[in-house]
Amino acid sequence: MKPEVLQLSPILIPEINAKLHDLYTVRPYYQQSDKAAYIREHGANIRGVVTGGHTGITQALMAQLPALEVVAVNGVGTDAVDLAYARDRGIHVTATIGALTEDVADLAIGLLIAACRGLCTSDRYVRSGQWPQSPSPLAPLPLARQFSGMRIGIVGLGRVGRAVATRAAAFGCPVSYTDLHPMTDVPYAFVSDLTELARQSDALVLAAAADKAEGIVNAQVLEALGEHGYLVNVARGRLVNEADLVAALTAGSIAGAGLDVFVDEPNVPASLFELDSVVLQPHRASATVQTRTRMGEMVLASLADTFAGKTPTGCVRS
Ligand code: 8YV
């Protein structure tokens, strides 16, 4: 009998999906309209869960899966899984550590360039057909802000933060960072206080885990970033006080933002839709064929190792 696996979010690579269905009896929880009834029917037999970094799994759902052995997160963030509860029950929690670092860092730089160079606004302008009617080649678009040489402040110098730093340095950008403690193996300046880092930066890039850092980017930090400063978030929406961010962008008290993540995804504050200073993405930083394939392979390996009685690689501890 194949082990039963509860799927909480879709896998977008057909080959990975095919392997998953080949090896296991997959229960697609995310497609069910009556989820409670589905769990009553299948919960007792579920031995593995596949979920996304943002989706995670609630403690209440884990509690209804008495045979659960592994939660394989198809992502790097495990902030949406109760790790302490999983540990107490002996459930492995795995993440696709290292698989998506490059993509997320690429998108952080892409979002910053898109925001400060006005790429999306310019694209909309060309598509609107207004260009041939313009009195001068650039009007009515404002001149953009140069990216090369911008002072970049990175919040969280983990794998993604470091990959952002490497890229920024290649553009001639001085890099500073904040984290729980300074790191001795990097050439970047450590600034212990986030508000001070914002004051010293032209752009803040958020790359921190969200577990213990809710709402750290608030009105005070945004005020320090200032009217020429940009915010990029490729981590988790709740690192930011979103109401404060919307207020700062609406008032023009920061210059712009590039956002891949939001507090209440997929709901995005509607007032952001009006603002040309903001570039918005639907949580897509790791969504390339190459990375999602690698992530899917790691999820399959986690399930296979667990069901073979081994400790899977990529285990996350509380
Ligand atoms: C993914 C993420 O979009 O890695 C994470 O923690 O949030 C993202 O990379 C998500 O996990 C896909 O399911």
Q: Can you state the angle between helices 101-116 and 159-170, rounded to 10 degrees? A: 50
Please tell me if the CB atom of residue 74 comes closer than 6 angstroms to any atom of ligand 1.
yes
Based on the residue annotation, tell me whether 236 is a catalytic residue of this protein: yes
Clarify whether residues 53 and 115 are in a common domain. no
For residue 91, how many C-alpha atoms fall within 13 Å in the half-sphere facing its CB?
26
How confident is the model over 16-29, as pLDDT tens digits?
999 999 999 999 99
Clarify whether residues 82 and 175 are in a common domain. no
Clarify whether residues 54 and 91 are in a common domain. yes
How confident is the model over 217-262, as pLDDT tens digits?
999 999 999 999 999 999 999 999 999 999 999 999 999 999 999 9
Query: Is 317 inside any structural domain?
Result: no
Clarify whether residues 170 and 207 are in a common domain. yes
Its domain, for residue 275, covers 101-280
Clarify whether residues 186 and 214 are in a common domain. yes
Q: What is the pLDDT of residue 303?
A: 98
Q: How many domains would you assign to the chain?
A: 2
Query: Is 269 inside any structural domain?
Result: yes
Q: Which of 100, 302, 316 to mutate to test the pocket of ligand 1 (most atoms within 8 A of CB)?
A: 100
Average of per-residue pLDDT across 74-90: 96
Report how far residue 164's alpha carbon sits from residue 295's, in angstroms, rounded to the nearest whole number. Answer: 20
What CATH number is attached to the domain comprising 128? 3.40.50.720
Based on the residue annotation, tell me whether 283 is a catalytic residue of this protein: yes
Confidence of residue 188 (pLDDT cuts 50, 70, 90): very high
Report how far residue 66's alpha carbon sits from residue 43's, in angstroms, rounded to the nearest whole number. Answer: 8
Please tell me if the CB atom of residue 296 comes closer than 6 angstroms to any atom of ligand 1.
no
Query: Is 313 inside any structural domain?
Result: no
Q: What is the pLDDT of residue 140?
A: 84
Go through the chain and tell me how many residues it has. Answer: 318
How confident is the model over 252-299, as pLDDT tens digits?
999 999 999 999 999 999 999 999 999 999 999 999 999 999 999 999
Report how far residue 92's alpha carbon sits from residue 83's, in angstroms, rounded to the nearest whole number. Answer: 9
Please tell me if the CB atom of residue 294 comes closer than 6 angstroms to any atom of ligand 1.
no
Query: Is 314 inside any structural domain?
Result: no
Report how far residue 95's alpha carbon sits from residue 75's, in angstroms, rounded to the nearest whole number. Answer: 6
Structure tokens at 133: 């009617």
CB within 8 Å of 210: residues ≥ 6 apart? 77, 79, 235, 236, 238, 239
Q: Specify the range with the lowest mean pLDDT, choosing from 87-96, 135-144, 308-317.
A: 135-144
> Which ipTM score applies to this complex?
0.96
Clarify whether residues 245 and 293 are in a common domain. no
Ligand 1 centroid from CA 114, angstroms: 22
Clarify whether residues 56 and 79 are in a common domain. yes
Clarify whether residues 275 and 171 are in a common domain. yes
Based on the residue annotation, tell me whether 167 is a catalytic residue of this protein: no
Q: Which of 20, 30, 76 to mutate to test the pocket of ligand 1 (most atoms within 8 A of CB)?
A: 76
Please tell me if the CB atom of residue 236 comes closer than 6 angstroms to any atom of ligand 1.
no
Query: Is 142 inside any structural domain?
Result: yes
Share of the chain above pLDDT 70, in %: 100
Clarify whether residues 21 and 81 are in a common domain. yes
